[in-house]
A and B are shown apart, each in its own frame.
Chain A
Amino acid sequence: MNDYKSCFDPEQFQTNVNRRTFLGRAAYGLGGLALAWMLNPPKLLANATIPASGPWRGVVNPTHFPVRARRVIHLCMAGGPSHLESFDHKPKLEALNGKPFPDSFTKGQQLAQLQNTKLIALGPFCQFRRWGKSGQEISALFPNIGGIADDICIVRSMHTEQINHDPAHAFMNTGTRIKGRPSMGSWWLYGLGADTQDLPGFVVLTSKGQSGVQPVSARQWSSGFLPSRFDGIAFQSKGDAVHYVGNPAGVCQSTQRQVVEEIKRLNGMLADERIDPAIETRISQYEMAFRMQTSVPELTDFAKEPQHILDLYGVKHPGDGSFASNCLMARRLAERGVRFIQLYHRAWDHHNDIDRDMPVAAKDVDQASAALIQDLKQRGMLDDTLVIWGGEFGRTPMGQGSGRDHHILAFSVWMAGGGSKGGTTWGNTDELGYHYLADGQDMDVHDLHATMLYLCGIDHTRLTFHTQGRDFRLTDVAGRVIHGIVA
C-alpha cells in the first residue's frame, strides 16, 4: 500500500541534520545513539545500580557542599494563602481599596477566575505589626508565627508559572508542569537516602480546613520516573496510617511474625536454587514490611507525648488528622530519621469571604506551625531541620468580590532552621503586591529548590537522573542558589 508520495531521502536528511549541527542548533547528530548508550547505559542497566531494597545512601555521597539541613519539613498551605494578609504588608493597596486596579499592572497578564471582569483593588482586611528583635512584619492573623519571627526567614518575592491548583502543586513539587516527573521528596531520597530503615524516607500527611478546601492528588508525592522506592508514602488519617500496615483481624503480631518468617524461609529455598537478586530483595522487603508493622504503630502512638507538648501544638486529640496533630507527627518522623516530610493543609483557596475564612485557616495553622519550630529548637533539631511554609501560589491584590483570585507573580513563603537565615526578610514586591521585584532578590520555584538542595549539601546541577534520552534535574535548566537567605 505504498501510495504515498514520500520525500524521505536518508542522505539528504543526514546533510540537513549535519547542517543544523553545524549551525549549533542541535547538540547531537545522528551518531549519538551508540555513544549515548556507552556513556549512559540503557535505562535497565542504569536503574539496576539503584538497589530495590536495603540501605540506600543516596547518589550524592559524599555531599557536594557542607550539610546544613539533614531533613526537610514542608508545610504546604494548599490552596494558595494570601501574601497580602500574611507576610507582605501593602499600605498603598489599602489606600486603593475599592478603586479600579491600575491597568498598567495587569495588562496582558494571565488571570484565573478574574478573567473578563473589571479589576478592583482590595486592601488587606487585617493589621500588620513588627515582631521580635528583627522587627519582621507579619499580619495579626499569625501571632504565634510572629512570636518566632527571629527564627524565620520570610521570602516575599516568590513567583511561579502555574495558575491553577493542580498544575501549580505539580510545579512546586517537580519544577515542571509536565506530568510524570519526580516530586521534591523523591529527589531528596534519591540524592541522600534516609536515616531510617524502619520507616519510609518520604512521608506525606494531609489535613483539611473548614473552607477554601481544594483537592490534592497523590501524584504530588509520586517518584515519577525515579524508581518507586523513592515514592512518598501518604499516611492516612483514618484506619492504618500506612495502607495494609495492620495485621488482618485474627492474626496477632506473633503469628504474623511466623508467617513472615515462613515466607522468608521458603523464599530462601527458592533463592538457593536460582540466582536471582529479585528473590533476595523480596526477602529483605518482607523484613522491612514487618519492621514497618512495628514501627508505624510506635510512631503513631502519641501516648508518651506529655501534655505540655500537646498543648504547645494545640493538639486536642492526638492522631485526629488535624494540622496540629500532623505537625507533632512531623517532629516524630523527623526524630526517627525520615528525610522529607510534607504536610498539606487544604484550606487557603479564598475566592470569597476572605475576611471571614482566612482568619479561621490562619488560626488552624498558626500555633502548630510555630510550635513545630519551637519544639525542634528546644530539642536541638532546628539547626539541621529545614522547615518551609507556603502555598503553591499567592492571591491577587484585586478583589474577587469579597475574596482574592489565584496569583502567580508574587507570593510569600518562610523558612526556618537548616542553615536558613532567621530574622530576615528577603525580596520585595511592587507597591501593590502584584509583581515581584526583579531586584536580584526575586525567587522562583527553581531558585527555591536550588537553595533547599544547597542547604542539604547538594549542587542542584549535579543531582541528575538519566531517562528518556537525557539527564533530568529537579531544577530543570534553571535555578539559582539564593545565598542571601543562607545563614
Chain B
Amino acid sequence: MGLALIVGLLGLLILFHAAYSTIQYRGLLKITEEEFSGPPFDVVIELFLGLLLCFWAALTAPGKFLSIHPHSEDNRIVSLPANLDFMIFNHRGKAFPVEMDLKLRQ
C-alpha cells in the first residue's frame, strides 16, 4: 500500500517534469520558428515511464480483490465473527476484568 503510493507519486513527478520539458521545448521552437510535430524522443520515453509507474500504482494501491464465493478459503474464516448469532459473551473471559481496566487506563 505505502510502496504503491510512493511509486504513484514518483510517476506523477516524472509526468510533471516531462510537461515542463515540453514547455521548454515549445519555447525553443518559438525562437527558431519551427513547427511543433511532437515532443522530443527523451520526453516521450519519460512520459511512457511515468505512465508505466502510475499504471502499476493504480493496480496495486486500492488493495486486493476479495473472493465472492461463499465456499472459498478467505470467506470461511471471516464469516463466523461477522455473524452476530455466533457472538458469545457468557464465557470464562469475564473472570479476568483486570486486564480490561489496565488497557483503559493507558
Do the two chains bind? no
Q: Which residues of chain B have a CB within 8 Å of any CB of chain A?
A: none
